Amino acid sequence: MSLSWLPHNLEERLNRTLDRQVKLAVTGLSRSGKTVFITSLVHQLLQGIENPHLPYFSVVSSGRVQGVKLMSQPDLHIPAFRYDVAIEKLYDNPPTWSEPTKGISEIRLAIRYKVENSLLKRISPVNTLFLDIIDYPGEWLLDLPLLELNFEAWSQQIAKLCDKEPRLTLSQPWREFIATFDLSEPANDTILRQASALYTEFLYQCKSPQYGLSLLQPGHFTMPGELKGAPILEFCPIFTLPSSEIKENSFYAVLKKRYEAYKEQVVKKFYVEHFSSFDRQIVLADVLRSFNTGYASFADMRDALDLVLKSFTYGKSGLLNKLFGLKIDKLLFAATKADHVTPNQLPNLERFIEQMLAQAQNNVKFEGVKTATLALASVKCTQAAYTNFQGQKISCIKGVPLESEQPIALFPGEVPVDIPLPEEWVEGRFHFLEFKPPRLSHANGRGLPHIRLDRALEFLLGDKF
């Protein structure tokens, strides 16, 4: 049945009520694989009818999909997800990956499918599901906990993090700078700008591949999106309280005011405008990269992901939820780039992330959200292979490393089943390399090769058809 005679927003509302529209949000920290995941997902679905690459996505494998089409997106104020650019790059010769993305974007697909339910079938044998996919930086979820913290409590948390290496050394220039002025003195814009620039620089250094830290707040400082250069990002935490009485125009008072404005105008705005409207959520994490960097990077990523997952419980039972509601009822946590490990290591990788997030997942389940963990590769860039080492047959992977032209066979290291102790995290234990995308061809209609993307789709969307 066409609803084109309805005014636009009414049609949207009706689609949602009739369960014909679903908002699938895709997030993860920088470089976790969001763009590649969405590109592969859209590509797989556009392959549509009887796509042999999606055996575990039941609506497709049972032959019920009649067709899939890209549509113009419903939210005109959100930038478009550039599927066209990303897929062209993957099909190029040589194929390349997409550029990093900086903020939120959206894409809409219409999926026409045969209805299975015998009762509904009588009303309408064929239905259309509008799937809106939203890509947004996971860093923004690190901001939601700020809503429950005042400036002093947040500053204390940051101070505690900076007690330990590598933050202790990296934060030195910023800490030395803020120690040079008295917080009870009248504020000066130039000094405030310098202080926040040094703090932001400290966050970027923590994030650099050398240190690979993830728990970086405020999240918009390293992922500003459209707020790049805006004065609302010009503040930083403090280490000591002012020595004398606090005047309204003092450094201390201004920093506190800006922190509160950030919470109100940036964090809450994201919650109300976007987060509260999502139906389903997938959180992606490049766990293997943190293995390479060492224990500090791994532990920091785990803490950051714990905090990210808390956003969903916090949303469900917190004050904002009472005011604005939080719809997410299914949450999938996925370790990406599973083609970086040998196929026999996949179960280990899945057990590892399951354990790593057990506590956080439990809390989310408690709030009535269905959760699952999975290891996947949106685009499989390696092949399983074997090599001989000292007379023994060893399982390895074969692919073209990002910095090279020639394929190599590599044993990347065993994924531990249990989380290793800090002292077991010896240097050189893991060699998880980045790979070039595989050469693809339009001509033979082969979809992008992947690992377990269909299982992710089944968990996230299977019940909507």
> What are the residues binding ligand GTP (CB under 6 A)?
28, 30-36, 97-98, 100-101, 137, 336-337, 339-340, 377-379, 381, 434-435
User: Residue 161 Cβ, how far from ligand GTP at the closest point, in Å?
Assistant: 22
Tell me the angle at which helices 251-262 and 151-161 cross, rounded to the nearest 10 degrees: 90
∠ CA(6), CA(12), CA(17), 5° rounding?
110
Is 397:387 a contact under the CB 8 Å cutoff?
no
Q: Which is nearer to ligand GTP, 85 or 168 (CB)?
A: 85
Q: Which is nearer to ligand GTP, 315 or 412 (CB)?
A: 412
Residue 32 binding result from Mg ion, ligand GTP, none, given CB thresholds of 5 to 8 Å by partner type: ligand GTP
Q: Report d(CA 443, CA 48) in Å as an integer.
A: 16
Q: Which is nearer to ligand GTP, 108 or 436 (CB)?
A: 436
Q: Which secondary structure element, helix H or strand E, spans residue 262, and what is its range? A: helix 251-262
Q: Which is nearer to ligand GTP, 128 or 311 (CB)?
A: 311
Give yes or no for residue 311 binding Mg ion (CB under 5 A).
no
Going by the DSSP 8-state scheme, the letter that residue 20 receives in this structure is: -
Stretch that binds Mg ion, among 28-36, 142-150, 234-242, 451-459 (CB under 5 A): 28-36
Give yes or no for residue 101 binding Mg ion (CB under 5 A).
yes
Give yes or no for residue 39 binding Mg ion (CB under 5 A).
no
User: Residue 100 Cβ, how far from Mg ion at the closest point, in Å?
Assistant: 6
Largest pairwise CA distance in the chain: 76
User: Residue 281 Cβ, how far from ligand GTP at the closest point, in Å?
Assistant: 15
Match 């932001």 to its residue by tokens: 200
Choose, by CB under 5 A, the member of 35, 44, 200, 250 that binds Mg ion: 35
- Count of alpha carbons within 13 angstroms of residue 102, beta-carbon side: 7
Q: Which is nearer to ligand GTP, 236 or 381 (CB)?
A: 381
User: Residue 214 Cβ, how far from ligand GTP at the closest point, in Å?
Assistant: 12
Length of the chain: 465
Give yes or no for residue 27 binding Mg ion (CB under 5 A).
no
Q: Report d(CA 36, CA 377) in Å as an integer.
A: 9
Counting residues that bind Mg ion (by CB under 5 A) gives: 3
Give yes or no for residue 336 binding Mg ion (CB under 5 A).
no
Residue 335 binding result from ligand GTP, Mg ion, none, given CB thresholds of 5 to 8 Å by partner type: none
Q: Which is nearer to ligand GTP, 313 or 373 (CB)?
A: 373
Stretch that binds Mg ion, among 12-20, 31-39, 166-174, 301-309 (CB under 5 A): 31-39
Strand, coil or helix: 208: coil
Strand, coil or helix: 132: strand
Whether the bond into 438 is cis, omega within 30 of 0 = no
Q: Which is nearer to Mg ion, 38 or 59 (CB)?
A: 38
User: Residue 385 Cβ, how far from ligand GTP at the closest point, in Å?
Assistant: 15
CB-based contacts of 156: which residues, under 8 Å, 6+ apart? none
Q: Which is nearer to Mg ion, 35 or 40 (CB)?
A: 35
Q: Which amino acid is at 352?
A: F
Q: Which is nearer to Mg ion, 104 or 238 (CB)?
A: 104
Whether the bond into 94 is cis, omega within 30 of 0 = yes
User: Residue 81 Cβ, how far from Mg ion at the closest point, in Å?
Assistant: 9
Q: Which is nearer to ligand GTP, 137 or 212 (CB)?
A: 137
Residue 435 binding result from Mg ion, ligand GTP, none, given CB thresholds of 5 to 8 Å by partner type: ligand GTP
Give yes or no for residue 32 binding Mg ion (CB under 5 A).
no
* Residue of 246, 206, 237, 239 whose CA lies nearest to 222: 206
User: Residue 284 Cβ, how far from ligand GTP at the closest point, in Å?
Assistant: 7
Whether the bond into 218 is cis, omega within 30 of 0 = yes
Q: Report d(CA 116, CA 465) in Å as an integer.
A: 8
Residue 358's Cβ-count burial label (10 Å; 0-12, 13-18, 19+) is: exposed
Pairing type for strands 408-410 and 392-399 reads: antiparallel
User: Residue 102 Cβ, how far from Mg ion at the closest point, in Å?
Assistant: 8
Residues numbered 129-168 forming contacts with Mg ion, rule: CB under 5 A: none
Per-residue tokens: 5: 């005679």
Evaluated on CA atoms 245, 250, 255, 258, the torsion sign reads positive
Residue 378 binding result from ligand GTP, Mg ion, none, given CB thresholds of 5 to 8 Å by partner type: ligand GTP
Q: Report d(CA 416, CA 109) in Å as an integer.
A: 39
User: Residue 38 Cβ, how far from ligand GTP at the closest point, in Å?
Assistant: 8
Q: Which secondary structure element, helix H or strand E, spans residue 303, and what is its range? A: helix 295-317
Can you give the binding site for Mg ion, defined by CB under 5 A?
Answer: 34-35, 101
